[in-house]
Each structure stands twice: as C-alpha cells, then as structure tokens.
C-alpha cells in the first residue's frame, strides 16, 4: 500500500506526471499517497511503489542503492523487468547488423598487474590474517609481505571494455578480416564507493571500424541508442542525447556522446559513447600492429567506438518515466497511480482473477488459461490463488501499480458461455471476450506494441 | 582446424563416442584429429574444438578454467549456448509450478560481519596503501588498522542461498502466506582458488515447505532436475543422480542428492540438492519465528530444500556429451567430429551459404532469408559473407564441428525456381526445399525437439 506522504517538497521534484495538472489531488482510499491539495514527492512515491509491488526488496539500504542507479536486490517483478530490458538491449544490438557478436569475458582478471592503485581487488581474508599473526617480523617486513599479497590478489573489472579489446583478434577471423564489426556483452561490473563497492549491470558494445569512419559510426550508434530508449518510453522527451564537452574527455577520447534521462532530481547518464582511437587496442595486444590490421586496409589499426550503458539506472529511468497519476473516479476526483510500462517491458502481462462463485471450477479454468498463456511466453499473475476476497476497485488499483497490462475476471458466467471480462490498464475500459480468443488477442497486442 | 593429436593416452579418457566402435580411426583431411589406428584424447579434442569453433576464447589459462568447470571467457557460440541453457533452466524451474518466483540479490553484502575468515572480500587497494605508508604508528597499531579495514570491506557471495533466505518474508506475502513455494535465481558467485578466486554461474532454487514434506520435495526436485539434464543429452545415461553419503553431509543438512555427469576423467557434480531444515532461515531472520510462520501451520517454521547448480560445468557436460565421431565417407572410412547439441541448445540453428554464381543476387536472397529467420528468433550463421571460396566438404565439416543444425545452400537455381538444398547435421542427408517453406520447417523442427 502506498501510504507515504511528504509535506515539504522541493519544487523541482514535483514532476510526477498528472493527466490533469490543475486538478487538486484527493484521497484515493487505501492507495492514497497524498493529502488533499498536496503534490506527492515523486521519488519517494516511486521507491515506495517499487517496494510494495515487488520490484525491489524491502530495506533502507536497498532503496538507496536503487535510487543511486546501481544494482540492488530485486523482487520478482523487478527481476522480470530487468530480464526484459536486457533481452531488448541484446536484440537491438546483435540483430541490428550481421556483424555484432556476443561474447562473455571473466570478471576476475588473471592479469594481477592490471589497473592502478584505485583498483578493486578480491582478497581472501584468511591470507591477510596469517600475515597479521606473524610475530617475528619487523613492521617493514610486514608491510612488504602485505603489499605483495595485495598485488597478487586478482583485480575485478570496472567495465567490460578491456575484455572486448582482448577478443578482437579471434573475432577478426570470424568476419573474415573485414571491418566494421562489433562485440556485445552484458554483465556485472564493480565500482568503488566510499571505501565499499557497488555492482552495476553494464551493457557494452565495442565497435571496430576504419579510422576515417569512426565519427560517422559514433553518430550512427548515438541515433540508434536514443531511438531505442525512446521506443519504450511513455514520455520520450525525457530521454535526450548530447555531446560531451571537450574538457570532460579522457586523453584517448576524441569525441563523446551521452544519452541522458531527466530524473526528478536532474539529468543522469544512461549510456555513453566514445571514440577511443587505437591506443588501447594496441596496448591490449602489446603493440602487435600486424595482428590488428584488417584485410582491406593494411596500413592502419582499427579505431574503437565504445557504447557503455548502466542497465540498473536504465531500469529506474523506465520505472520513473512510466509512473502516472490517473483519475479513477470522475465524481469523487479520486486519483491513483498507474505504472504504464511499455507492453514489451511490463513484467506481468496478465492477471487472472475469479469473482465469487464455484471456486473449484473457476480455478480450473484459470489454471488451463494460465498454462496456455505461459506456453505462448505471456507472463501471468495468478491472482486467483489469493484466498481472501478483495474488492474489484482495490484489485484494479493494485494491478495498475504493478503495471499489469490486462486483468481478466473469470466468473460463473465464463463457465456457461466462455465469456470473460478483460480490463485494460491503459484505457481502464472493460471488454467482454471469449476465452478462446484471449491468447491470440494478447500475442497480437504485445507484438504490435513491439513493432511500433 | 583440429590438428591436435595425442600419442600417449590414458585408457579411461578414451570414451569419445564413435558410432562404429570397432572402426580404426583414419585421417579425415584438414579436420583430422588422430593418427591412423589411434584413439583421440577426448578432453584435448573437445577443448581444441571449443577454441577453434568460437565456444571459448584462445589461451591456456582460459582452457584450464573451462576444463575445471568455472566461468571462462566465452566466444560468440559459447555465449549463445550459455544463454540458451540459462533460459531453459529458468523456464523449467519457474514454469513448473505457479509458486516459483524469480529474484535477484546483490553480490556484495552490506553485512560486513557476515562470513568466516575464509570469506572473499572486495578491497580498494588504495585504502591499504594509505595505511602502509603511515610512518608514525607501531607494528601493532598498523595491524589493528589493517584488520579493521579488512573487516569493513564487503564480502562477495559464494552462493545464492543466503540472499534467497533473506527474501523469504516479503515473498510469503506474495503467496498469501501459503506453503510450499520457491525462489529462483541465477548469477555469478565467487570461489576461493589457491590464493586467487574463480567465478561460477550458479543456478539456485530455494524451496520452502512444511517440515513433514521436505523429504518428498527433495525426491520431487531430484527427479525433475535429472529429467531436465537428460532431456538435452545425446547420451542420457551419462547423467545420473545419487544420495550423498551421510558422512559428507554438513551439520544442518539431513539428506542430500547429487546430479552427476560422467566426464572422460570421472564423475563431477552438476547440481546438488539438500534438505537444510530451518536453522539457517531462523538465523537469517534473527530467530523471529512469528514472522516465518505460514498461515496453515502456526507452530512450525518452514523447512528449506536447496537446489544449487553450476551452469559452467553443465555447459561443458553438454558439449562433452554431444561430441561424436562420425563416418563421413563410406569408401575412404574418413571420420569427422560432429557436435550434436540438442536443437534447443545449439547456438546456431542455420548456416546460409552460396554456391558460385551471380553473387550479388544470391547475397540478397540470403539477407532476406536471414532477416525472416531472425525475426522468428532462429539464429543464423551468415556464411554467405565469407569471400573466400570453400569446398562443400570443408564447409560441412566446419558446421558439424560448430553444431549447426542445418546448412542451406543458395544457388543460381534458387533464383529461378526458389528451391534450395538443405543439409541436416544429424542425418547428413540433403533435401531440396522451397525457400518459402524454410521458416516454418525450422520453427516446427525446433519446437518438436523442445517438446519431446
């Protein structure tokens, strides 16, 4: 239940989308999140909803990780959303061209010399303890032993970039020595965070092309990526792209573009594209130019365009972007929250519920329909398993907060006529459909949304 | 190309499957892996094939990680195989019952006090360096500062079990307080390995049930899991299950079952099932019994059955299981290697190639067909992009080693009649088909294999 209210609200946070902006917000029963006349804090509202509706797990610390755009502990709905998002990212990158190959590199680098002093390393506590306990050594000897142990401990990766550079040579064989081509990877990376560390689900496309085309490719991929983010957005203009100012560029980078999302607290980057030249590729292969040259251009080493994203923050962007206040009752002006996630991303497509009646038979109908839908890869929420009766209004509010696309109510009438009521999250309209049409209706609806 | 040969071979390693066991092995052109009259070393043959055919990346160290059944750097085919395997595991567990929910917990535990001295921790090298450089402290003070820093550094997880226990309470709400139900998760875990660390892609199902049914559930899940492994096997009897001897059980475990695979070098566990009682669940929730009790049985705390798998080793088991020696030529007795991966798991379903002719038009046909197949989620190998001519025999041998299900040859004839030659990996028979039938044929073939 959303019960959190905020009384003192910074103005710039109040960007929660309402279809009727002038309307004073009212109590909306159990799902109320505001006092009359007040605007809810969109961040708190979002986090509370995500916890209540099993997107993220309970806990102050966990909500804070989520808000900072790093991996947190996800509940069943959050996990499904992240799976859908990863799947879509993967398809968009690997199917956009025949020349992107997926790879998987390891997190722990065997190359213990890699990385500067700020590197995160994995250590075995026990090995340190054993040195701590040594009595007969001087302070200097102790420090030296510990220093050696630390340098022997394997570093963990901060990003997927270096792994892809190392895979360049075997991949060149795959494409018959021809440029351009790309290597795609998704995986956990670690980031230092005030003495501790955070993990992030990164997406990475490393694109190898001839030096003179790198700028065109940067533009190509920037357009593609922005289009992708906007495809799933309810309010596409919150996603934008822009060149990185020259003074922020690293030494090896000649140009950069960032895809940003306009969070209630300000803009944050979701994906970053860099033209990185050939320096790091040469370093990764110890300067062996001859191995790196492609068939058509024997003089130059390929240039690298990197596209790196943070999928945890991307997930928060879509959740934030989809949350809407909607008027539920024209007479009472009651408002409720709806998570209008894109049909492709929504973790639950259908909720199956039963109205009062011959429960055993109704459940059997639900189980049959659930089986049919799951075989068609349509995710189902088995609301019919709940044994406590709930009002229809309460149920709709709950499913709207979960972002469930359709709610289907199986009743006594379904047993007789095969007809059931189907409520749409987005239109709130209830239609009557025959049970035999449901699967096709849903598959058509989802695939239509996917192809827009 | 497979060129590795082994002269001195331990007898027990020679379990590479040959359809005609009495047949002396012969040279098979460029794909030969043996001298006449010799048996190839199945392990070396497998590793070499996996490197050559882009299942795993080049490198001694990488091949060794692969062989030890931990995560290594995977090439495009290996990555696709692991994706397929993860997807199948996930479906089999989450769709087997309405009561399994997916979760995602974090790798880095905020609870720094967790874990014993053998715990792996992530440290920032810099923080240690800063203490090393302190001049004015005694040895004892230095050790104390380092010890405190080490204990503040976050531990990384060895398995997914503890994360699931922590999610028990919010999940109980999802199922309306009713047992049994399960929490599924897949993710990277870290294991100490001789001063260094390895990562493993683990699968985890944590099943919560009433104390009196835990033994039945262990049997249920053992049967289900074994059935799953065998479903995708070429030689199902290499997968087996057996009770863990009592002397090997941890204190909290009352019964255990292991699913084993018979590798050329001996049996190794792929998945392990334990009845773990309620001790750890109580610990995870600080003994708060009242929070843990379910609706129907207010006296007892649920018991836990854990099902933990190593998907990297599972992947190697399927690769090892699928590798066959096959007679390619009845006259010359030539033998070649075929990777007979199950159609659902095979990373590439179709290779598209062109025979000599009007290349531009033929390529256009290939591109159109590739697009159509990719939209139907059938993975395609764009062999037609290779510019160097290759003999058909050479091509077939290569695709057999890659485990490609069908090879389609588009020729001048296709332009006129729409007909093309389709070669099956498993039967080696070539059939003529109309291009308009290809998509349906493949989708039917794959889904039929999936439902056996």
Same-domain check for residues B94 and B242: yes
* Residue numbers in B near A387 (CB within 8 A): 176, 178
Put simply, the answer to whether B174 touches A76 (Cβ < 8 Å) is yes
Q: Which of A381, A376, A80, A55 is nearest to B99 (CA)?
A: A381
Same-domain check for residues A366 and A380: yes
Same-domain check for residues A198 and A297: yes
pLDDT given at position A129: 87
**In chain A, positions 39-68, which contact chain B (CB-CB < 8 Å)?**
54, 57-58, 61, 65
Per-residue pLDDT of chain B (452 residues; tens, 9 = 90+): 333 333 333 222 334 444 433 333 333 333 434 444 556 788 999 999 999 999 999 988 899 999 999 999 999 999 999 999 999 999 999 887 668 999 999 988 766 666 565 689 999 888 888 888 888 888 889 889 998 998 888 899 999 999 999 999 989 888 888 899 999 999 999 998 877 889 999 999 999 999 999 999 999 999 999 999 999 999 999 999 999 999 999 999 999 999 999 999 999 999 999 999 999 999 999 888 888 887 776 778 999 999 999 999 999 999 999 999 887 666 677 778 999 999 999 999 999 999 876 688 999 999 999 999 988 889 999 888 876 778 888 899 999 999 999 999 999 999 999 999 999 999 999 999 999 999 999 999 998 988 76
* Residue numbers in B near A143 (CB within 8 A): 132, 142
Å between B269 CA and nearest CA of chain A:
22
Nearest CA in chain B to A386: B176
pLDDT given at position A90: 95
How high is the mean pLDDT in each 10-residue block of chain A (452 residues)? 33 38 34 51 92 92 93 95 96 83 87 68 88 87 90 90 92 86 95 87 96 96 97 97 94 95 96 96 89 77 96 97 82 83 97 84 92 90 81 91 96 93 95 96 91 74
> Would you say residue A431 lies in a domain?
yes
Same-domain check for residues B210 and B293: yes
* Residue numbers in B near A138 (CB within 8 A): 139
pLDDT given at position A41: 85
> Would you say residue B327 lies in a domain?
no
Please, are residues B84 and B199 in contact by the beta-carbon 8 Å criterion?
A: no
Same-domain check for residues A367 and A310: no
pLDDT given at position B14: 36
Same-domain check for residues A357 and A308: no
Helix B42-52 / helix B60-67 crossing angle, nearest 10 deg: 120
**In chain B, positions 141-160, which contact chain A (CB-CB < 8 Å)?**
142-143, 146-147, 150, 152-154, 156
Structure tokens at B417: 């009649």
Same-domain check for residues A293 and A434: no
Same-domain check for residues A60 and A89: no
Q: Which of B75, B95, B185, B54 is nearest to B450 (CA)?
A: B95
Report the C-alpha gap between A32 and A18 in whole angstroms. Answer: 15
Please, are residues A396 and A427 in contact by the beta-carbon 8 Å criterion?
A: no
Structure tokens at B411: 């020729």
- CB contact set of B404 (below 8 Å; sequence gap of 6+): B346, B348, B349, B350, B351, B381, B425
Is the CB of B95 inside 8 Å of chain A's CB atoms?
A: yes
> Would you say residue A168 lies in a domain?
yes
CA distances B122 to A35, A199, A223, B283, Å, are 45, 11, 37, 24
Q: Which of A189, A400, A203 is nearest to A315 (CA)?
A: A203
Å between B24 CA and nearest CA of chain A:
34
Structure tokens at A236: 């596409």
* Per-residue pLDDT tens over the stretch B103-143: 999 988 766 666 565 689 999 888 888 888 888 888 889 88
Put simply, the answer to whether B106 touches A192 (Cβ < 8 Å) is no
Same-domain check for residues A49 and A90: no
Q: Provide the number of structural domains found in chain B.
A: 3
> Would you say residue A142 lies in a domain?
no
Report the C-alpha gap between B218 and A134 in whole angstroms. Answer: 47
Same-domain check for residues B186 and B307: yes
> Would you say residue A442 lies in a domain?
yes
Residue for token pair 């059980």: B249
**In chain A, positions 307-336, which contact chain B (CB-CB < 8 Å)?**
none
End-to-end Cα separation, chain B, in angstroms: 34
> Would you say residue B13 lies in a domain?
no
| SS3 of residue A296 by DSSP | coil
- Structural domain that includes position A67: 42-75
Q: Which of B82, B261, B288 is nearest to B186 (CA)?
A: B82
Which of B124, B291, B374, B402 is the best substitution to test chain A (most A C-beta atoms within 10 A)? B124
| SS3 of residue A195 by DSSP | coil
Put simply, the answer to whether B192 touches A124 (Cβ < 8 Å) is yes
A235: left (phi over 0), alpha (psi -120 to 50) or beta: beta
Last-in-domain residue among A75, A94, A121: A75
Residue for token pair 């309620």: B278
Q: Which residues pair with B257 in a beta bridge?
A: B243, B273
Task: Write the residue in B73, B128, B142 that is nearest to A150 by C-beta.
Answer: B128
Put simply, the answer to whether A199 touches B108 (Cβ < 8 Å) is yes
Integer-rounded Cα Rg, in Å, for chain B is 26
What is the SS3 string spanning chain B?
Answer: CCCCCCCCCCHHHCCCECCCCCCCCCCCHHHCCCCCCCCCCHHHHHHHHHHHCCCECCCHHHHHHHHCCCCCCECHHHHHHHHHHHHHHHHHHHCCCCCEEECECCCECCCCCCCCCCCEEEEEHHHHHHHHCCCCCCHHHHHHHHHHHHHHCCEECCCCHHHHHHCHHHHHHHCCCCCCEEEEEEEEEEEEECCEEEEEEEEEEEEEECHHHHHHHHHHHHHHHHHHHHHCCCCHHHEEEEECCHHHCCCCCCEEEEEEEEECCEEEEEEEEEEEECHHHHHHCCCCHHHHCCCCCCCCCCEEEEEEEEHHHHHHHHHHHHEEEEEEECCCCEEEEEECCCCCCCCCCEEEEECCCCHHHHHHHHHHHHHHHHHCCCCEECHHHCCCCCCHHHHHHHHHHHCCCEEEEECHHHHHHCEEEEEECCCCCEEEEEHHHHHHHHHHHHHHHHCC
Check if the interface score ipTM surpasses 0.90. Answer: no
Is the CB of B177 inside 8 Å of chain A's CB atoms?
A: no
> Would you say residue A335 lies in a domain?
no
Å between A272 CA and nearest CA of chain B:
24
Put simply, the answer to whether A118 touches B126 (Cβ < 8 Å) is yes
CATH number at residue B428: 3.40.50.800
Please, are residues B89 and B204 in contact by the beta-carbon 8 Å criterion?
A: no
* Residue numbers in A near B134 (CB within 8 A): none
pLDDT given at position B21: 34
Structure tokens at B363: 């390529």
Tally Cβ neighbours within 10 Å of residue A3: 10
pLDDT given at position B330: 65
Structure tokens at A280: 């790091």
Last-in-domain residue among A267, A300, A319: A319
Same-domain check for residues B285 and B194: yes
Report the C-alpha gap between B89 and B228 in whole angstroms. Answer: 8
Is the CB of A204 inside 8 Å of chain B's CB atoms?
A: no
Last-in-domain residue among B282, B304, B319: B319
CATH number at residue A196: 3.30.930.10
Same-domain check for residues A359 and A289: no
Put simply, the answer to whether B190 touches A122 (Cβ < 8 Å) is yes
> Would you say residue A259 lies in a domain?
yes
């Amino acid at each position: 239940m959303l019960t959190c209210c905020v009384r003192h609200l910074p103005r710039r946070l109040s960007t929660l989308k309402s279809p009727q902006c002038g309307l004073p917000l009212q109590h909306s029963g159990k799902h109320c999140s505001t006092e009359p006349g007040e605007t809810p804090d969109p961040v708190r509202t979002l986090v509370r909803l995500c916890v209540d509706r099993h997107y993220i797990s309970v806990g102050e610390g966990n909500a804070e990780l989520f808000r900072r755009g790093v991996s947190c502990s996800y509940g069943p709905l959050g996990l499904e959303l992240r799976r859908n998002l990863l799947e879509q990212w993967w398809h968009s990158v690997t199917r956009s061209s025949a020349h992107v190959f997926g790879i998987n590199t390891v997190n722990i680098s065997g190359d213990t010399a890699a990385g500067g002093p700020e590197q995160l390393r994995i250590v075995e506590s026990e090995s340190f303890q054993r040195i701590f306990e040594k009595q007969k050594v001087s302070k200097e000897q102790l420090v030296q032993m510990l220093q050696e142990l630390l340098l022997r401990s394997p570093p963990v990766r901060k990003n997927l970039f270096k792994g892809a550079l190392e895979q360049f040579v075997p991949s060149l064989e795959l494409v018959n020595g021809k440029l351009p081509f790309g290597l795609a990877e998704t995986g956990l990376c670690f980031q230092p965070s005030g003495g501790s560390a955070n993990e992030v689900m990164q997406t990475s496309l490393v694109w190898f092309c001839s030096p003179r085309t790198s700028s065109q490719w940067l533009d190509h991929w920037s357009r593609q990526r922005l289009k992708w983010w906007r495809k799933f957005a309810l309010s596409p203009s919150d996603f934008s792209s822009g060149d990185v100012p020259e003074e922020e560029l690293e030494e090896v980078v000649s140009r950069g573009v960032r895809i940003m999302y306009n969070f209630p607290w300000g803009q944050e980057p979701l994906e970053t594209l860099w033209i990185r030249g050939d320096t790091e590729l040469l370093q990764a292969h110890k300067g062996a130019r001859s191995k790196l040259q492609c068939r058509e251009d024997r003089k130059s080493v390929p240039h690298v365009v990197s596209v790196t994203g943070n999928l945890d923050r991307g997930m928060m962007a879509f959740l934030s972007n989809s949350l809407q206040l909607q008027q539920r009752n024209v007479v009472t002006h009651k408002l409720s929250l709806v998570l209008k996630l894109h049909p492709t991303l929504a973790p639950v497509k259908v909720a199956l519920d039963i109205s009062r009646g011959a429960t055993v038979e109704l459940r059997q109908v639900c189980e049959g329909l659930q089986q049919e839908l799951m075989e068609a890869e349509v995710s189902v929420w088995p609301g019919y398993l709940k044994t406590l009766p709930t009002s229809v209004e309460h149920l709709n509010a709950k499913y709207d907060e979960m972002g469930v696309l359709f709610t289907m109510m199986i009743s006594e009438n379904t047993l007789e006529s095969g007809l059931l009521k189907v409520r749409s999250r987005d239109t709130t309209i209830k239609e009557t459909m025959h049970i035999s049409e449901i699967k096709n209706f849903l598959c058509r609806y989802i695939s239509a949304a996917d192809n827009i």
